Each structure stands twice: as structure tokens, then as C-alpha cells.
Amino acid sequence: MICKVKIISTGSKGNAVLLNDEILIDCGVPFRELEPYCKGLNLVLLTHIHGDHFNPETIKRLHFLRPALRWCVPPWLMEPMERIGVDRRVTDEGMAGHLLFYSWSLLYPAWVSYNFIPHDVPNCAWHIEFANGERVFYATDCASLDGIVAQDYDLYLIEANYGEEEIQERMKRKLKAGEFSYESRAMESHLSREQARAWLVQNAAIGKSHVLYLHQHQSEEATHDTLGTSLQQSATAP
């Protein structure tokens, strides 16, 4: 059984992804977008401080309504969490590469851990392994996934922000027109479709793994890939 996924929001307007109706990854949306799912949440995983992933007002509201809700965050978010009033007793500080096991608090027990990923602020990618053996990988807002291993996972939630040829063309047009181009920053801090696919070729299992592409430039909506023929062709292309 593939983990149930709800993409509440993805992209520069806000990020929030729900797994099995109880694990929230990122909290970068207005509270009204989370409100329908609030009562079912049992664990929140956060990645970095940018407002489209870390919305202080939403986090404060969620903590006020669900004071026993557990949060698992990397070290760089401990101080921001305390500053906005989240009780330290319900906030777990993760350590890169170290597993934390959530059993009593989850309907579907799971181990979670993270890896550092390069961005313009400290950021991480999350690994979630459920007790039934199902594994999920989540990574967005990253310049590269070099050195990150997530072999044969069942589900990948991964950024595919832009096409490399497309973004180069946009930059050329804007330069010629004397317009400001934000695309160079995107290339320095976000993952291209080509980078995402190359990494998946090395990690995903053809015919088994599923992919949801996040934080896409054009539609700002997640798209799905079952890693079938197209990925196999990429893997075998000269």
C-alpha cells in the first residue's frame, strides 16, 4: 500500500504536504488551509526558515489548538520555534542521519531522519520509514541532491523547479530586454527537472517507486510519475 499523500500546497505561495492524514511536512501556508486537517495531525516535520515553509502565525495557531502535537525540527529551527512560543517539551530536535521513532503518537508508527541539503539558508530533506516497511523521501528548495542516498523508496516527493533549457532562454530574453532576472537565483538554490530525474535514476526502483514532483515553476502544482518507461529510457540512454 502506497502512503496516502495530500499536497495541501506546493510552490512559492506556500508548502504543506500531508502523509496518511497525520504527518505534516512543512507548514508554510495560512492556517485556513490546514484547518480541515488540524484534528488528525500527530506529527509535524519542518525543513527551513523561509516563510513559504515556516509560517510563524500558522505554527502558533496550530500549537495553541493542539498543544500536545509533536514537532520534529532540525537544530536551526529550535530557536525560532521557541521564539514564537512552541513548548520545548513537544519539540524534538533532530540530528542529521539519526533516526527518531514515533510509535505511541502515530496511527502508523514511523522512523524519521534528515540529511542536510544546500539552499541559501540551512535546509534538510526528510526520510520517513513506516513500520510496514514503506519509505518516503521529501526534498524541496535545494540546489543539489549530490551525496544523498534514498535507495528503492516507495515514494519520492521531490522538487523539479525548472527546465534547464527553458530557464536559460528566459534569462537571455530578459537580458536582451534589460529586465531583471530572478532565474539566476533559482538556478543557485533550486533543483531542476533534469537534476531531479538524474538523481531518481540512481535511487528509485523502476516499476515500484512513485514520484510526486513539487515546487514546479510553471504550474506550481505537483505532478505524478510512476517511474515507468521514461525513467528506464533515461537510465539506459548513452
CA dist., res. 124 & res. 114, Å (int): 6
Q: pTM here? A: 0.86
Mean pLDDT across the stretch 154-167? 81
The pLDDT of residue 185 is: 58
Give domain status of residue 39, yes or no: yes
| pLDDT digit string, tens, across residues 16-55 | 999 999 999 999 999 999 999 999 999 999 999 999 999 9
Reported as type and span, the H/E element at residue 165 is helix 164-177
123 grid coordinates: 535546509
Give domain status of residue 216, yes or no: yes
Cα–Cα distances in angstroms (integers) from residue 38 to residues 41, 109, 122, 223, in the given order: 6, 19, 27, 25
Give domain status of residue 175, yes or no: no
**Lookup result for grid cell 549530490:** 146
CATH code of the domain in which 55 resides: 3.60.15.10
Does 199 or 190 have the greater pLDDT score? Answer: 199
Check if the beta carbon of residue 70 is closer than 8 Å to that of residue 105. yes
| pLDDT digit string, tens, across residues 165-195 | 665 566 556 565 666 555 555 555 688 899 9
Residue 142 has pLDDT above 90, yes or no: yes
150, 141, 126: which is closest to 25 by C-alpha?
126
Burial of 174 (0-12, 13-18, 19+ CB in 10 A): middle
Structurally, how many domains does the chain consist of?
1
| pLDDT digit string, tens, across residues 64-120 | 999 999 999 999 999 999 999 999 999 999 999 899 999 977 889 999 999 999 999
Give domain status of residue 12, yes or no: yes
Residue 164 has pLDDT above 90, yes or no: no
CA dist., res. 119 & res. 226, Å (int): 27
**Lookup result for grid cell 504550474:** 219
Give domain status of residue 187, yes or no: no
What is the domain range of residue 218?
A: 5-162+192-236
